[in-house]
Amino acid sequence: MSTDFVFLLQAVAWPLVLLLAWFVGERLHERWQVPRVTSYVGVGLLGGLVNLPGLTTDIPGLPFLANVALSLVLFELGYRINLRWFRHNPWVLLQGVLESIATFGLIYWVTGWLNLPIDQRLIIAALSVSASPAGVVRVANELRSAGQATERVLHLCAINCALAVLALKLVVGYWHLSTSGDLVMAAFGSVHVVATSVAMGGLLGVVVPWLLRFRASQARDMTVVFALSVLLLTTAAYGLRLSPLLAALAFGIVARERRVHLTNAQRDFGTAGDLLAVFLFVYIASLLDWAQVASTLWLGVLLIAVRTASKVAFGLAAARLSGITERKGVLTGLALTPMSAFAILLLEQSRLMGFEPAVAVLSVLTGMMLLQELLGPVITQRALRAARETHVTKE
Amino acid sequence: MPLETFKASDSLTMGVELELQLVNSHDFDLSSSANDLLELLRRKPFPGTVTPEMTQSMIEIATDVQREHGPLLAQLQAIRDTLVHAGDRLNIELAGGGTHPFQRWFEQRIFSKPRFQELSGLYGYLAKQFTVFGQHVHIGCASPDEALFLLHSLNRYVPHFIALSASSPFSQGVDTLFDSARLNSVFAFPLSGRAPFVLSWDEFANGYFTKMESTGVVKSMKDFYWDIRPKPEYGTIELRVCDTPLTVERAAALACYLQALCRHLLERNEPPPEEDDYLVYTYNRFQACRFGLDGMMVNPKTREQISIREDVLATLRKLGPHAQALNSMAALDEIERTAARTGNHATFLRNRFKESGSVQAVVRASVEALRSGPV
């Protein structure tokens, strides 16, 4: 009888926590306009704290599901990227690339004060380059935000994410080289993963729109096709040990270039997207180990300060050159604060592929992730509001 | 405050105002980006004027006072190029068209200027439904009485301008079956429609306007949303029924068609305007909005039915010498081509929808038409 009960509790723990997260998200959003994703994270953290049965990393399939959820977000982010814009306004691209390099360098330098091993410092630096597409896209859509800050946050986020994956894969390659001396393995760990992931996403971005041409009626919404394609892409990337996130981003970018039209009624992939987002944020939060929080909190504060300073400084420096006010430049930098979901899933995936330092890095970064997850979306929300780009604008 | 004095200007000078859509480049919905665009445009001299409008997803541009088609078109093209270039730097697309095909008005952000706030407070959802985009053409008048004469003589030609400029077949994501759905939004305003039939400025300013003002309903000429209204501070009459066409080339042609028509009317060879002309006015206007050039209008003098297309073509035949004198043959050629062969831009947009089945592709076609010229 008691084993039945434990089994039942394990089985329903996840759905119950997700339901709770949804309710809390709606309530706090109505009450104090707390971004919904922040509430999901909060509930996930509490779930991790009380160590709910079933809320562990050991359940197979959950990391995959989380990757699907994030891949959908990355597809949507990719779909919003206008490559031609970079030609008309190279400053935006330049800002993204230079800021990524500077952030990498700064974080690597700062972590040097703290007696961390070099491979960990490199990984932390690579992850700090990224910005969380899930946090940024969900918050921007929730606010129905539109304008230069929003547009730039999304484009810079995509650049940051692509470069973060690249940097991490190079670090992994370097690690393989230094531990095994196997150059082939090292090359496989970096260049191959990045190039093949992009190529696979890009290929699907050409094939799917081409197949859609053969429909008799163009009227039906195509969101389902793209959601299923993202699922296919994620599965394939898993099987081939590629980066599902990078592939999904490339898929979105190419699909847009192929002039596919997704209706705005299906932002965030509609109801399915909402469902997966609740899961994603709760899951990510539950991965954090509370035992590490106290000891890593100060490191977290330091890293966040340096990373934010870098993004804001570049936002400010590029503002006038790229055609916006300094104020919006600063707000753009601030809005890029969230980084957790993307970084954690990247680490998770590296761990699954046998990259040993990933586990240690996740525990070192616990404090940073905790703060970023909870506060990042709030900062993005406040920044976009301050830029007066949200639908409900207080004058 | 009494109506200001009518500032006389040179007869048949003209000026064009266009309200343009700002759309994003990913799903082609309206983009609340006017502040960002204006901020960037402020940094360099602009070849005309550009001002914010009711919502953040709209800007209005205006030319200087022009006399001929060539310079008018050149200025409109320079304005367009400047705007498109600025839009490219900010990842914002610009488009003509009287409505945005699928925007939802309740998602639009209203501009923060006090007058606009006041309007949206007063009109509620009408103010947001007023997210429509028109072309206004000013024609200079030597005297206020000439202005009123022209204003009322033009009444029978109003359907021409509606049908020729119509570019708003889609609204809220569906084909409205109207060629100009935009005007239906304008008609919802209490002070829209036609001006009262008064031919002397003295009677208009000291009689009608003073009485209206004493009712407290209006404070200035700005409160009237008439199809044609006098604009005393410019010394012009302003034709307001046109949808913003998809191209500045069409906009310039429409202005020059009006200019040539006014030159013709000022020769006073046509029967003078009278109140009874307005008996068929709203019927004709409806036909033009609904059916465009295929609409049937009733000639107010002869009481005969004729298709708007035929009436435009017949009018063009009379305007030949005026176009010669005004150097606007190219403009009238474009009007002739539109009426006789290519059709208005509503037809163009419907064809794009038929090909693609997507309202977003319709906006994309509008964006490309504005960029690259005649369609």
Decide if pLDDT at B169 tops 70.
yes
Q: Which domain holds residue B32?
A: 14-372
pLDDT band at A393 (very low <50, low <70, confident <90, very high): very low
| Nearest-angstrom CA–CA distance, A237 and A204 | 12
The predicted model gives B295-320 an average pLDDT of 96
* pLDDT value of residue B69: 97
Q: What pLDDT digit, counting tens, does each position of A271-284 carry?
A: 888 889 999 999 88
Instruction: Give the residue carrying structure tokens 């925007």.
Output: B103
Min Cα separation B26/chain A (Å): 6
Average pLDDT over residues A190-195: 84
Q: Does A58 touch chain B (CB under 8 A)?
A: no
Q: Which residues of B touch A218 (CB under 8 A)?
A: 356-358
pLDDT at residue B4 in the model: 85
pLDDT digits (tens, 9 = 90+) for B190-220: 888 999 999 999 999 999 999 999 998 888 8
Tell me whether residue A46 is in a domain.
no
**Per-residue pLDDT at A1:** 52
Tell me whether residue B5 is in a domain: no
**Of A89, A262, A391, which is closest to B27 when you measure between CB atoms?**
A262
The per-residue pLDDT for B113 is 60
Beta-carbon contacts of residue B275 (< 8 Å; ≥ 6 apart): B197
Q: Cα–Cα distance between A385 and B6 in angstroms, integer? A: 45
- With a CB cutoff of 8 Å and minimum separation 6, the contacts of B361 are A261, B352, B353, B355
Please indicate if any CB of chain B lies within 8 Å of the CB of A213.
no
Looking at the predicted structure, is the pLDDT value of residue B285 above 80? yes
Which tokens in the block code for residue A379?
Answer: 């900062």
- pLDDT value at position A395? 38
Residues of B in contact with A155 (CB under 8 A): 91
pLDDT one-digit tens code per residue, B219-278: 888 889 999 999 999 999 999 999 999 999 999 999 999 999 999 999 999 999 999 999
Please report residues of A whose CB lies closer than 8 A to that of B40. 323-324
Quick one: which of B331, B283, B360, B375 has its CA closest to B70?
B331
Tokens standing for A368? 């940073």
Q: Which tens digits make up the pLDDT trace of B343-365? A: 999 999 999 999 888 888 999 99
Distance (Å) from the alpha carbon of B42 to chain A's nearest alpha carbon: 11
User: pLDDT at residue B117 above 90?
Assistant: no
| Residue-wise DSSP of B131-149 | ---EEEEEEE-SSHHHHHH
Chain A contacts of B111, Cβ < 8 Å? none
Q: Indicate whether B111 pLDDT > 70.
A: no
- For residues B71 and B108, what is the distance between their CA atoms, to the nearest angstrom? 35
Query: Does residue A192 form part of some domain?
Result: yes
A247 contacts: CB under 8 Å, gap ≥ 6? A71, A197, A198, A200, A201, A204, A233, A234, A236, A237
Domain membership of residue B2 (yes or no) is no
Tell me, yes or no, if A50 comes closer than 8 A to chain B by beta carbon: no
Does the CB of A323 have a partner CB in chain B at under 8 Å? yes
Structure tokens at B159: 């359907």
- Residue B145 C-alpha, separation from nearest chain A C-alpha, in angstroms: 45
Q: Which residue's entry shows tokens 């992730």?
A: A369
pLDDT of residue A150: 94
**DSSP states of A47-60:** HHHTT-TT-STTST
Q: How far is A119 from A103, CA to CA, in rounded Å?
A: 17
Residues of B in contact with A263 (CB under 8 A): 27, 360
Q: How many CB atoms lie within 10 A of CB A258?
A: 15
pLDDT of residue B175: 94
Which chain B residue lies closest to A221 (C-alpha atoms)?
B358
Residue A34 pLDDT greater than 50, yes or no: yes
B116 within some domain: yes
Q: Give chain B's domain count.
A: 1
**Minimal-distance CA residue of chain B relative to A85:** B91
Which A residues in the span 232-271 are in contact with B, Cβ-Cβ below 8 Å? 256, 259, 261-264
Nearest Cβ partner for A395 among B26, B36, B112: B112
Report if residue A164 sits inside a domain.
yes
* In contact, B236 and B15? CB cutoff 8 Å: yes
Residue A315 maps to a domain = yes
For residue B107, what is the nearest residue in chain A, using CA coordinates? A391
Find the closest chain B residue to A89 by CA distance: B89
Does B150 score more than 50 pLDDT? yes
The residue among A251, A228, A208 whose CA lies nearest residue A77 is A251
Domain count, chain A: 1
Contacts of B36 in chain A (CB under 8 A): 147-148, 324, 328
- State the average pLDDT for chain B: 92
Contact B27 A324 (CB under 8 A): no
The CATH number of the domain holding residue B293 is 3.30.590.20
Instruction: Please check whether residue B308 is in contact with residue B156, taking contact to mean a CB–CB distance below 8 angstroms.
Output: no
| Average pLDDT along chain A | 86
pLDDT at A53: 52
Q: Smallest CA–CA separation between B133 and chain A, in Å? A: 20
Under 8 Å CB pairs connecting chains A and B tally to 68
**Model confidence pLDDT, tens digit, residues A205-230:** 999 888 887 765 555 567 888 889 99
Each residue's pLDDT tens digit, B95-107: 999 999 988 765 6
B9 domain-assigned: no
% of residues, chain B, pLDDT over 90: 78
- Residues paired with residue B59 on neighbouring β-strands, in sequence order: B20, B52
Which pLDDT value is given to residue B327?
96
Distance between terminal CA atoms of chain B?
Answer: 47
Question: Which residues, at least 6 apart from B79, have a Cβ–Cβ distance to it below 8 Å?
Answer: B46, B47, B48, B50, B61, B63, B248
Per the CB < 8 A criterion, the answer to whether B229 and B110 are in contact is: no
CATH number of residue A187's parent domain: 1.20.1530.20
DSSP alpha helix (H) spans, A130-269: 133-143, 148-180, 183-187, 193-212, 223-239, 244-257
The more confident residue out of B274 and A351 is B274
How many alpha carbons fall within 13 Å on the CB side of residue B254? 36
A325 min Cα distance to partner chain B (Å): 8
Count of helices and strands (H, E) across chain B: 15, 13
- Name the residue range of residue A79's domain: 58-282+293-386
| Residue A78 within a domain | yes
Which segment of A90-99, A139-148, A210-219, B193-202 scores lowest on mean pLDDT?
Answer: A210-219
3-state secondary structure of A85: helix
Kindly report the nearest CA distance between residue B92 and chain A, in angstroms.
Answer: 9
Contact A82 B91 (CB under 8 A): yes
What 3-state class would DSSP assign to B240? strand
Query: Closest residue of B to A77, CA-based?
Result: B26
pLDDT at A348: 80
Question: Is a pLDDT exceeding 90 seen at residue A182?
Answer: no
Task: Please name which of B132, B110, B105 lies closest in space to residue B186, comparing C-alpha atoms.
Answer: B132
Interface test with B, best of A143, A263, A328, A392 (most B CBs within 10 A): A263
A155: distance to nearest CA of chain B, Å?
11
According to the model, what pLDDT value does residue A263 have? 66
CA-based nearest distance A214→chain B, Å: 12
Residue A22 lies in a domain: no
3-state secondary structure of B124: coil
pLDDT tens for B15-54 read 999 999 999 998 899 998 999 999 999 999 999 999 988 7
Q: Is A150 on the interface with B (CB under 8 A)?
A: no
Give the model's pLDDT for residue A58: 58
- A151-165, A171-185, A194-208, B351-365: which has the minimum mean pLDDT? A171-185
Contact between B28 and B363 under an 8 Å Cβ cutoff? The reply is yes
Name the pLDDT band for A51 (thresholds 50, 70, 90): low
Q: Is residue B254 part of a domain?
A: yes
Q: Is-contact A196 A236, C-beta < 8 A?
A: no
Cβ count near A189 (within 10 Å): 26
- Please judge whether A261 and B29 are an interchain contact, meaning their C-beta atoms are less than 8 angstroms apart: no
Q: CA–CA separation, B254 vs B75, rounded Å?
A: 15
ipTM of this complex? 0.88
Inside any domain, residue A166: yes
Contact by Cβ (8 Å): A200, A237:
yes
Residue A288 counted as domain residue:
no
In a domain, B74, yes or no: yes
pLDDT of residue A394: 42
Contacts of A80 in chain B (CB under 8 A): 26
Which helix (H) or strand (E) segment holds residue A294: the answer is: helix A293-319
Contacts of B364 in chain A (CB under 8 A): 259
In a domain, B334, yes or no: yes
- Residue A64 forms contact with B (CB below 8 Å): no
CB-CB neighbors (< 8 A) of B25 in chain A: 82, 85
Separation in Å, CA of B71 to nearest CA in chain A:
29
Q: Which residues of B touch A327 (CB under 8 A)?
A: none
Chain A: residue nearest B356 by CA? A218
Taking contacts as CB-CB distances below 8 angstroms, the residues of chain A near B357 are 217-219
Least CB–CB distance from A391: residue in B31, B40, B109? B109
The C-alpha of A263 sits at a distance from chain B's nearest C-alpha, in angstroms, of 7
Cα A75 to chain centroid distance, Å, stands at: 11
